[in-house]
Amino acid sequence: MTPDPSILLTFGLLALTVLLLWVPAPAIRGRRDWAWCPGLALACVAGLAGGLLDWRAPLWILAYAALAIGARVASRAWIRVPLLVLTGVAAFLFALHRFPGFYNPVLAEGIRFSADTPAFSLRANADTAVAGIVLMGVFCERISRLADWRAMLRQVWPVVLSTLVVVLGLGWALGYVRPDWKWTPYSAWFLASNLLFTCVTEEAFFRGFILERLARGMARWRYGVLFATVLSSLLFGLAHARGGPLLVALATLAGVHYAVAYLRSRRIEGAILTHFALNAVHFVAFSYPYLTP
């Protein structure tokens, strides 16, 4: 699979922007986590030049980033809360491809990764990537030291193991998937894009944004964190409603594990790692996306 050069350049720059989220930059007003901003700007320029974006897309991105930054810096609750709600709605609409100006290419159509699964389309979604980049850049604390990476891994590996055994085991028992080891010409692109765009975006939204904000707002409640965990996991499950009730149930169960990984490690990277581990093992070692009835 060899995508068009404009696709490679635009999404290569978007991937670089995601990586820049973990690169410290010279401090501006005390902050060192802005290196992703020029990366996103370059990706927009490449998208405009390659026809993957039109003039409306940068305007939507600027408005979305302004909402997010406004929500983060607002000191008064009557300003902060509405801005947080608007930011969350905007992020969701980006993920649903509701903002005009983005022309997300289809890289391959009608792929069957297993003989007994439905056809699958492989897409490159710039708007979804943007949604996660801005949320991660504005709201999520990221690891900056090797020692913190080691500590995070020690804390989340039991959660990763539980996620794989419980979610994939239940999916196998219920006939949703079966073991099916495979490596295809699309595997490297799928895994890279799933990590950098899907997992980063979904964890930035459901754990770094929704769970964290709910948990903070309900900190005084006796079961506030538990309520925030359950609600964010249910919302994550419902986001997969197009796949049917069984996928909603499995995604909700997976969402609980991702929330535990986040809360146990207090690191968004723990949730991303747990999420990617499940998606990667599902794709490589089991039927993908699911068995046909």
Characterize 192-227 residue by residue with b for buried, 16 or more Cβ atoms within 10 angstroms of its Cβ, and e for exposed: ebbbbbbbbbbbbbbbbbbbbbbbeebeeeeeebee
- When pLDDT is averaged across residues 125-130 and rounded to a whole number, the result is 97
Give yes or no for a cis peptide into 38 (omega within 30° of 0). Answer: no
Between CA 152 and CA 242, with CA 255 as vertex, the angle to 5 degrees is: 145
Q: Is the dihedral of CA 161, 181, 121, 245 positive or negative?
A: negative
Per-residue pLDDT of 223-262, as tens digits, reads 899 999 999 999 999 999 999 999 999 999 999 999 999 9
The identity of residue 68, as a single letter, is A
* pLDDT tens for each residue of 184-205: 989 999 999 999 999 999 999 9
Average pLDDT value for residue range 160-173: 98
% of the chain exceeding 90 in pLDDT: 84
Specify the DSSP element, H or E, that contains 154: helix 146-163
pLDDT at 221: 86
Q: What is the mean pLDDT of the chain?
A: 94
Give the Cα separation of 256 and 262 in Å (integer): 10
For the segment 131-145, what is each residue's pLDDT rounded down to a tens digit?
999 999 999 999 989
Question: Whose CA is closest to 199, among 148, 154, 163, 162?
Answer: 163
Interval 18-60: pLDDT, tens? 999 999 877 666 666 789 999 999 999 999 999 999 999 999 9
Determine the pLDDT at residue 1.
58
Q: Which amino acid is it at 93?
A: L
- Residue 28's SS3 state is strand
- Inter-CA distances, 172 with 29, 168, 169, 293, Å: 52, 6, 5, 13
**Euclidean distance between the first and the last CA atom of the chain, given in angstroms as a whole number:** 30
CA–CA dist 269, 276 (Å, integer): 10
Report the largest interatomic distance among the alpha carbons of the chain, rounded to a whole angstrom.
57
To the nearest 10°, the Cα dihedral for 123, 128, 129, 130?
140
pLDDT score at 30 = 63
| CA angle at 202 for the pair 7 and 26, rounded to the nearest 5° | 75
**Please, where are the H alpha helices in 74-118?**
77-95
pLDDT confidence band for 120 (50 / 70 / 90): confident
